[in-house]
Structure 1
Amino acid sequence: MSALSTGTDYTALAAHFRPLFARIAAGAAERERTRTLPHDALRWLKEAGFGTVRIPKEKGGWGASLPQLFQLLVELAEADSNLPQALRAHFAFVEDRLNQSDSPARDSWFRRFSDGELVGSGWTEIGNVKSGDVLTRVTPADGGWVLNGEKFYSTGSLYADWIDVFARREDTQGDVIVLVNTHQPGVTRLDDWDGFGQRLTGSGTTRFDNARIEQAHVYDFATRFRYQTAYYQHVLLATLAGIGRAVARDGAEVVATRNRVYSHGNANVPRQDAQVLQVIGEITSLAFAVEATVIRAAHSLQSAYEAHLSNDEAAIIAINAQAEAEAGQAQVVASELIPRAATELFNALGASDTRVSKALDRHWRNARTVSSHNPVIYKARDIGDWKVNGKTPTGIWQIGQSKTE
């Protein structure tokens, strides 16, 4: 039976990584100003074993539970919100391996991750592709496979050793996940993500031109872990919660050191102005509420993970539906409150704090960008339909051109 990752000593886990998070945070604003990709920060995380947080202890990892992983991602996002999103595909692939039976093949992946290797993402196609279609194709060749196609939103792939690619088999037309080694001439990664936020996640174009794939590195998509959609959303939720913490942190630091006041204010210095303190208290409370919501919802994911070994199919379906519903509810809350907190921040500051050199605008831009993933309006509708009519929230979905056009 596969070993379960049910939790570790979070105090020790966080203590191991917090000095690194502080080092990452120290350069975050400068990276934002200069659009410097965080290659160094990702390398530090790899060297510190961050990619092994969920791997069972007996397999060389920390054995953290999902609430512990997402709490740690919140802390990382406070340091630099680009990094949890850049690692989103890595942790999802680790989670998928955790849901599979123990085997030498699974152990080989765990060893790669213990050695510091990371996985990036290659799922979404843009342009003239109809919803439900997959243009990226994998074809049997010479005892293995070759992959051809192009992906956008290739989050984390600029920093990765492997890319988790959603493709279609040319021989059977079945949908599969393909693990592509990036260290080959058949893989081209472009830094052409031009979003106004989360600009350093490595989310641009990836092209595959007869990229070689090992025989064993093509997986039937139907075997993916059931709570994957909620899981992917939780990484974004942890990112939003971390942005909220960063907003509260930066607001408190600026107000504590600011000396310029308005003649019609309430005190000789901003840190004693009751209305300014109220703003800082409000944004701190918004950040607290979102973080609490995200971690609360992560417990249902842990339940879904532990249930995968059960033979009770009805119970498995129910807990996976619960995990999806709680992720959706958390998204509705976080997508509203964190951009609001990032806007309210400036009510406690002055015009001088809008200068590009301070990069405080990055918090709103990043929060709004993360909130634009997986449209919250559909999540709210799903939650209403679940609550009123008992309909299971949407799990797997795709995006593309309307087939009626």
Structure 2
Amino acid sequence: MVIETAREVGERFGLDYWARKDREKAFPSECWQAICEAGLGGALLPEEYGGSGVGMLEMALIVETLAATGAGATLGQLFMLNSVFGGVSLWKFGTEGLKRELLPRLSNGTLTFCMALTEPDAGTNTLALKSFATADGDGWRLNGQKTWITAVESAEKMLVIARTRKPDEVAKPTHGISMFMIDVERAGLTYQPIDKVGTLTLSSCSVFFDDVRIEPHELVGTLDRGFHELLDVLNTERIVTTACLVGAGFLATRLAVQYAGDRKVFSGRPIGSYQGLQFPLAKSHAELECARLMNLKAATLFDQGQPYGSEANLAKLLAADAANHAIDRSMQTMGGMGYSREFHVERLWRDARLFKFAPVSEEMILNYIAVHDLGMPRSY
């Protein structure tokens, strides 16, 4: 039923809708509102906070289905921003007051979120953060810079990750990091859009904090001990990323199969009858199914309260390759028409390429596997 609901919503906002939003570089607000009105945006959240309470497995299936019906990979970012950065962080680590104030509005689509983590000189190395929240009375004053922050212009709330203790003041490098949920529209907070090649429906910005006031109730999780709580947010982001990539890969393959069934060259037979075109698409389909299965395993482990980090990272690694292979092979099947905006695959191609290195690069996932799964020494 969840999948059918997602398919119905997704088909209402199909390929032409997303092509238009891409051209306009416009936030897909109508689609996100419909997703929330159908009870899908807050699928993971408990009913007492306005959610549907169906679980991470269902949310992965929702994202996959919505991506496959026309949106492609960028659809997953709507869930990363809201259901994960806003939803998971507050549900798991927020105060009761923040949960009751913000989560119902997240679920009904009237409140959108973003997360400010990445920094120009830190990148994937979160422990090298320089943004600093200095104690100021009962709250803090935040100074620093973030980059590649998605959908700042469309968000009302921002999950900010900052240092609250200097590295030389703590016993471990993971200590002294905290999470805060602040307003985007706040004195001292400014941002500048970054021109980019894909995922154009959601802006990316550099964000600047100049003595930004943070109130005491805006702390999310444990002061100075937020790093491991942040990892729980980031690992659920991996599940959503994989789901949208799998959906985008299936969508591209479907478009290629349809085109190959109609296109006739030389012999009068459809080009889809040639093994030279069949085999690459068939292999991509197999790769996508494997990534999908690993992702559903990660989501199930999350729902069961078991460790799921390795599975979530493995799934994301497989899905980034599988989706990019599928989309590239689909474009090759279409030839020149695959490069045209008319047939939509070029948008899927531009959007999916981001997820080879975001939200975590394949190189860092391989590092994780080597250290955590194989027991090899840390290489970085």
Instruction: Summarize the alignment of residues 75-224 of structure 1 with structure 2, pairs less than 5 Å apart.
Output: 75-78=65-68, 79-80=70-71, 81-92=73-84, 93-100=86-93, 103-115=96-108, 116-127=110-121, 132-141=127-136, 144-169=139-164, 174-194=176-196, 196-219=197-220, 220=223, 222-223=225-226, 224=229
Q: Is 2:67 aligned against 1:74?
A: no
Percent identity between matched residues is: 18
1:237 partner letter: T
Question: When the two structures are superposed, what TM-score results if normalisation uses the length of structure 1?
Answer: 0.77
Is contact 2:115-2:160 (8 Å) kept? yes
Is contact 1:166-1:178 (8 Å) kept? yes
Structure 2 distance, partners of 1:144, 1:381, is 37
Which residue does 2:315 correspond to in 1?
330
How far apart are 1:46 and its partner, in Å? Answer: 4.6
Structure 1 distance, partners of 2:148, 2:48, is 34
Q: 1:104 to 1:36 in 2, by over 3 A?
A: closer
Structure 1 distance, partners of 2:124, 2:311, is 30
How far apart are 1:68 and its partner, in Å? Answer: 1.0
Q: Is 2:256 aligned against 1:251?
A: yes
Structure 1 distance, partners of 2:232, 2:205, is 26
1:74 partner letter: E
1:188 partner letter: T
- Kindly provide the CA deviation profile for residues 159-194 of structure 1, in whole angstroms up to 9, marking residues without a partner as x: 221000111237998321111112345433433242
Gaps of 5+ in 1: 1-10, 307-318, 398-405
How far apart are 1:357 and its partner, in Å? Answer: 3.8
Structure 2 distance, partners of 1:128, 1:377, is 16
How far apart are 1:352 and its partner, in Å? Answer: 3.0
Q: 1:133 to 1:239 in 2, by over 3 A?
A: same
Q: 1:57 to 1:151 in 2, by over 3 A?
A: same
Which residue does 1:227 correspond to in 2?
232
Q: Is 2:16 aligned against 1:30?
A: no
Is contact 1:20-1:44 (8 Å) kept? yes
Which residue does 2:32 correspond to in 1?
42
Is contact 1:86-1:120 (8 Å) kept? no
Structure 2 distance, partners of 1:49, 1:148, is 37
Q: 1:152 to 1:87 in 2, by over 3 A?
A: farther
In the alignment of these two chains, the number of paired residues is: 362
- Kindly provide the CA deviation profile for residues 91-120 of structure 1, in whole angstroms up to 9, marking residues without a partner as x: 234223333488344322323324531221
Instruction: Summarize the alignment of residues 362-401 of structure 1 with structure 2, pairs less than 5 Å apart.
Output: 362-373=347-358, 374-389=360-375
Q: 1:38 to 1:59 in 2, by over 3 A?
A: closer
Is contact 2:331-2:346 (8 Å) kept? no
1:76 partner letter: L
Three-state SS of the structure 1 residue aligned to 2:205 is coil
Structure 2 distance, partners of 1:167, 1:381, is 24
Structure 2 distance, partners of 1:117, 1:251, is 37
Q: 1:86 to 1:202 in 2, by over 3 A?
A: farther
1:165 partner letter: V
Structure 2 distance, partners of 1:203, 1:237, is 20
Instruction: Summarize the alignment of residues 331-370 of structure 1 with structure 2, pairs less than 5 Å apart.
Output: 331-370=316-355
Q: Is 2:56 aligned against 1:62?
A: no
2:239 partner letter: H
Q: 1:378 to 1:61 in 2, by over 3 A?
A: closer
Q: 1:39 to 1:61 in 2, by over 3 A?
A: closer
Is contact 1:85-1:156 (8 Å) kept? no
Is contact 2:63-2:243 (8 Å) kept? yes
Three-state SS of the structure 1 residue aligned to 2:194 is coil
Q: 1:133 to 1:350 in 2, by over 3 A?
A: closer
**Which piece of structure 1 moves more, 152-161 or 380-389?**
380-389
How far apart are 1:151 and its partner, in Å? Answer: 1.3
Three-state SS of the structure 1 residue aligned to 2:149 is coil
- Kindly provide the CA deviation profile for residues 178-234 of structure 1, in whole angstroms up to 9, marking residues without a partner as x: 11112345433433242x333333222223334443321123252526533422222
Structure 1 distance, partners of 2:224, 2:104, is 23
Is contact 1:31-1:37 (8 Å) kept? yes
Structure 2 distance, partners of 1:387, 1:130, is 20
Is contact 1:283-1:345 (8 Å) kept? no
**Which piece of structure 1 moves more, 242-251 or 184-193?**
184-193
